[in-house]
Amino acid sequence: MAKITKKAAQERINSIRKDLEIHNHNYYVLNAPTISDFEYDMLMQELMGLENMFPEFKTSDSPSQKVGSDLETDSSSLEFVQINHKYPMLSLGNTYNKDELFDFNDRIAKSIQTPYTFSCELKFDGTAICLSYKNGELIRALTRGDGTKGDDVSRNVVNIKSIPQKLTGSGWPEEFEIRGEIFMPFEAFDRLNHEREENEETQFANPRNAASGSLKLQNPLEMRERGLDCVLYHFISDDNPFKTHIDAIEAAASWGLPTSTYSRKAYSIEDAIKYIEYWDEKRKTLPFATDGIVIKVNELDIQRQLGFTSKSPRWATAYKFKPEQACTPLLSIDYQVGRTGAVTPVANLEPVQLSGTVVKRASLHNKDQMDLLDIHIGDYVYVEKGGEIIPKITGIESSKRPLNARRPDFPMTCPDCGATLVRDEEQAKHYCPNIDFCPTQIKGRFVHFGSRKALDILLGDATVDALYQKGYIHTLDDLYNLTKEQLLTLDGWKDKSADNLLESLDKSKSVPFERVLFALGIRHIGETTAKMLATHFKSIDALADATRDDLLEIDEIGEIVADELISYFNDQRHKSIIEKLKSAGLKMAIDENESKKLSDKLQGLSIVISGVFSISREELKQIIESNGGKNVGSVSQKTSFIIAGDNPGPEKIKKAEKLGIKIISEDEFNKMLMQ
């Protein structure tokens, strides 16, 4: 990794963490990833490299230290019961580099003095599942969730034909868990998307998203028609009678459980790599999606000796196949303006087949990426489509560059409103600063405002565009002045459509404050940050009056977010919109019942938490606040004490000891509250 200053490293670490949290939510919860697996893995590797180079910035809540979660965070809209896993459900480390497989093997060899073998398995591209059996009967099925707890999807899993509710044969332990992947074969995926196309419904981007979305359907009978399948590959029991992983999986197959017929035993890492090389080409003939190979130490006693990190087992790793690539001419470049004003260059390509679909367009990210590629109009470009999502240009074939190829001019002004663009150095993006008068940003803000995670109003792109073109809406508060007569002037609108929209607007007035704050569309304020701010400040007025220092006192609020909030609330136009939304009836404060204190035992105390606890950090923060305490993110002379869990941040502990600040355990904290 290139040399980097400590300050720049900290800023980059914070930036990557925020990006990864967003991508985790898009992938695991929304089933709508916006980057490829490869790009995600490269971001994760960059983060891990920086954290290793600057260990003082490594924290237990970093995406590098925890499992991506598929759990809904809004407790008011939970659709499935969440249950704790008996054993943590971790993820796998991965690599795209075969040399790192030798490093993986060397680490094992240095720790273990006895011979060992490997189990080599296809990495099915689906959604993780944990099945629990007792006395030969299926009693529960949980998703991975956040690794500690998962959604109980038992009612849906029993509708997957390959998963037995009762085992056959004999020899199973009284209780055991077996984990694996629920996936959708290509045939079922194509059939489902064809049906959705005919019904004018949004099609799934790939089989993985389709499988994950189907598993969480509210109607189990509807899920039965989706054609899901399952493969199981990890057996766990307190009463494990097997000596090797392969023995356990073969026994599971004899009990009627679905296991892979493609796995094989390898006697060396070289043997495992031969297996990888075979399937890197052969996988294209499989009837289901696979994105790599999993290599596991076969001997269970050695697995136990090697143990786990906070995120993954030390005895297993995944080799990921690189995304498919194609080379095609670049015809032109469009510049698209997003909801927050970010201008993204999008390449128009000579149509080319890639991963089973025809690709005509691909993102170029930003001007820096274009400059790095030295891209010219007319170039032959390499396109990758990892994860079957928006394709990306990853390189050019300079030997094919036409003599008349020209370098594109990145616009200096907004393609939509003509305002002079500004550059965000942190994200290497150009933005249109005309947030209140740029048509694309205005309409995008309305779509975001009405989205399901925000106010859940019946506002699609077409409706917003029609209302905007009619001049009915310009600022968010205009929505609450809409009349039925105005709506009936829109093309194709009848009484029912108008009534439905007005009804959804009325229902939005009962949406909790944190979602209203998220709905405002303040740059850098996602769901999690909005909830954090709402919990801390309790009302929009208190947040608007907060100083920069007040904001920076909050854990995980950095300078960029603080400056954005100050700028937003200093704008009189935004203050006016908020007042009008407040007058319309939207909740601009947390209900007293929601913020009711349990006690004043922590009144006036500023508390820092650091490390991993028996409950989530968010739950611990809520306990502190409900007992009158204040959560702060950094250690200072004003800090009352630190609650230190497992693996606390060494710099925080060192600073606390230097300042003479008390450090207590989670148990000591709980005893404090019970006194």
Instruction: Give how far Cα 392 sits from Cα of 36, 253, 260, 348, 360, Å.
Output: 9, 41, 32, 11, 11
Number of helices followed by number of strands (H, E) in the chain = 24, 22
- Which residues on adjacent β-strands are paired with residue 131? 141, 178
**HSE toward the beta carbon, residue 84, CA cutoff 13 A:** 5
d(CA 397, CA 405): 13
CA of residue 612 relative to chain centroid, distance: 20
3-state secondary structure (DSSP) of residue 36 = coil
3-state secondary structure (DSSP) of residue 243 = coil
d(CA 605, CA 631): 9
Active-site annotation holds for 587 = no
Instruction: Quickly count: other Cβ atoms within 10 Å of residue 313's Cβ.
Output: 18
> Catalytic: which of 66, 123, 296, 443?
123
**HSE toward the beta carbon, residue 318, CA cutoff 13 A:** 19
Instruction: Quickly count: other Cβ atoms within 10 Å of residue 391's Cβ.
Output: 26
d(CA 225, CA 192): 9
- Which residues on adjacent β-strands are paired with residue 326? 383
- Would the CA dihedral through 546, 550, 554, 559 be positive or negative? positive
For residue 155, what are its two tokens? Answer: 């009612």
Q: Is 485 exposed, middle or buried (0-12, 13-18, 19+ CB in 10 A)?
A: exposed
CA of residue 257 relative to chain centroid, distance: 31
**Catalytic residue positions, numbered:** 123
